[in-house]
Amino acid sequence: MGNKHAEERKPAKPKTPTFLLELPLVAEAGQAARVGAHLEVGRQFYNAVLSAGQQRLRRMRADPAWHAARAIPRTHKQERRAAFSALRERYGFSEYAFHELAKELRVFWLAEHLDAVLAQTLASRAYRSLNRVCVGKAKRVRFKSKGRGLSSIENKRNDTGMRFVLQTQDQGRPQGHLLWHDEKLRALIDWDDQVVAHGLAHEIKYARLVRRRASSPRAQGADSEGERYFVQLVLKGLPHHKPKHTAGSDTIGLDLGPASIAIVPRQAEANLVPLCAELRPDARAIRRLQRKMERQRRAANPEHYDERGRPKKRGKGAPRWKQSRGYQATRQRKAARERRLAAHRKSLHGRMVHEIVRVGNTIVTEKLSYRGWQKRYGRSVGRCAPGMLIDHLRRTVASTGGTLHEVPTCTTKLSQFCHGCGTFVPKPLWQRWHECPCGIGPVLRDLYSAFLTAYLDPAADFIPSCAQYVIPWEGAEARLRAAHERVIQRANEGQVLPRSMGIPRAGARLPQSRSEPTQEPVFLLRRGRLEAWKERENPRGLSPGSIQHSYSSFVMR
């Protein structure tokens, strides 16, 4: 797409590596109120820029020239880019033009609350989100509502406006403060924490103020509104490297699933493990809260549902949805839970990444369409976030001097390949095993494809060939089998494994004789469903033969 600001940019400063450090802030009641007021102004300002920018975007897209530019084939790169950038210039749709817009909008009382640089960063933020709509990566932009407010604001530099300063004292350790207008918010610094000490020894590029809602106003460190404040320091340099995290030298093949990961190094032990299994209880608790919110929403808004409990169609002039106090409290608790889950997931990802990198820092994996996965396996992708894991892995591998190769699936087609006979046979999703008439297998499909990935040759453009696998397979077969046995052991210990791992939950899918009722009548009576049960007493006219048949087909599956 036409990218005007690329040429507008000054000769770019050499990019320096950056890392983040977050510190909690202590905000007294008065301070919290004043900082809250500044943030509220920031919110209104952001919405104003976003709204003006949205108008520009709409006008630009309504221009016939826009359709003409879109009609230019993608092969004519130069022409296409020129057409789009001319349009962007005409309608003022660029980061630079948004900064000009911010200057116009930052007037009167707004200016007292919002420094020019902060206004500029907010304008950039608005531009970036609108640009996502413009290039088709997002459908719409979100305005910041008054209830939720603006949750963060950042500066561009650390010498004026909002900034973080460390003050050395005569006795004791230095204290840190975030200065903004007349406020001085003290940061809680644990100097014994190596990560914190390492971070504060580096140059601060700029500071970001973050506001998060605690689970309730009584939560630790929260102000009377239930808000907590943090400062995120954007630092120049490399993050702290814990001595226990070392990098190995093996080459590793990864096969990532929506809820599992197969790790097959060339030498070390292979493994197939569920992703983020520890998050299951948290996710379940969140679902319970979601159900509670649904009940509370129904109780407060009976007029929005018909006699069968279905939500009514909403049109213009429909009554507003009411939010009870209980509903709001549940929502806040759920939000806190989600935040905790996200933090937990991040730490689990970190652990997994370090475990992988300890074995080797040359990693080959298939490039996957995470967006397609989100559509297909929404829930487990949402919980395990495999895309985030790969991003994390990429960063860590790069910081240790290794490489992460992402191989396009369309050329390798490893999930279909068999190295014994060189054929490509697509497998349906439910088939979790690779077993070929040529004598390869049975081996769990994810492990097999991770094995194939591990030995792909970058020199041969990652195209698999039979010859390259003959020797490795002899050594790997036993390792893959050992990995499979560990999976079975996990299942026997009662761990719940994702279905993609090919081992049904112990007992959960055991076939039962269908001639007997599956539930006790007493239980049904208690639920007042005895009538229903009686009606289906003789449900399926199954002859013994057909039971046998359905049983065996079940087993076959």
Residue 79's SS3 state is helix
Name residues whose C-beta falls within 8 Å of residue 218's C-beta, 6 or more positions apart in sequence.
Answer: none
* Residue 470 lies near Zn ion (rule: CB under 5 A): no
Nearest residue to Zn ion, scored by beta-carbon proximity: 436
**Selected binder of Zn ion within 149, 350, 420, 442 (CB under 5 A):** 420
Beta bridge partners of 407: 366
DSSP 8-state assignment for residue 424:
B
Q: Report the residue number, 229 or 448, with the smaller CB distance to Zn ion.
A: 448
- Tell which one of 421, 463, 496, 525 touches Zn ion (CB under 5 A): 421
Residue among 98 and 455 whose Cβ is closer to Zn ion: 455
Total residues at the site for Zn ion (CB under 5 A)?
5
Which part of the chain contacts Zn ion (CB under 5 A), choosing from 207-215, 249-257, 362-370, 411-419? 411-419
Question: Which residues fall within 8 angstroms of residue 66, CB to CB, at 6 or more apart?
Answer: 60, 87
β-strand partners of 253: 264, 364
Confirm if 153 and 35 have CB atoms less than 8 A apart: no
CB of 439 to Zn ion, least distance (A): 7
Give the tokens for residue 289: 């809260």
Give min distance, CB of 272 to Zn ion, in A: 21
Residue 86 touches Zn ion, criterion: CB under 5 A: no
b/e map of 292-305 (b: 16 or more CB within 10 Å)?
bbeebbeebbeebe
Choices 211-219, 384-392, 413-421, 474-482; region in contact with Zn ion by CB under 5 A: 413-421
Residue (328 or 423) nearer to Zn ion, CB: 423
Nearer to Zn ion among residue 110 and residue 436 (C-beta): 436
- Shortest gap between Cβ of 474 and Zn ion (angstroms)? 16
Report the candidate in 27, 404, 396 with the shortest Cα–Cα distance to residue 238: 396
**Could you give the 3-state DSSP secondary structure of residue 248?**
coil
Shortest CB 476 distance to Zn ion, Å: 16
- Which positions ≥6 away from 366 have C-beta within 8 Å? 255, 256, 406, 407, 408, 409, 412, 414, 449, 453
Q: Which is nearer to Zn ion, 398 or 421 (CB)?
A: 421
Question: Under the criterion CB under 5 A, does residue 418 sit at the interface with Zn ion?
Answer: yes
State in Å, rounded, how far the first CA of the chain is from the last one: 49
Query: In the window 423-442, what residues touch Zn ion (CB under 5 A)?
Result: 436, 438
Stretch that binds Zn ion, among 142-150, 222-230, 304-312, 410-418 (CB under 5 A): 410-418
**Cβ nearer to Zn ion, comparing 92 with 441:** 441
Give the binding site for Zn ion (CB under 5 A).
Answer: 418, 420-421, 436, 438
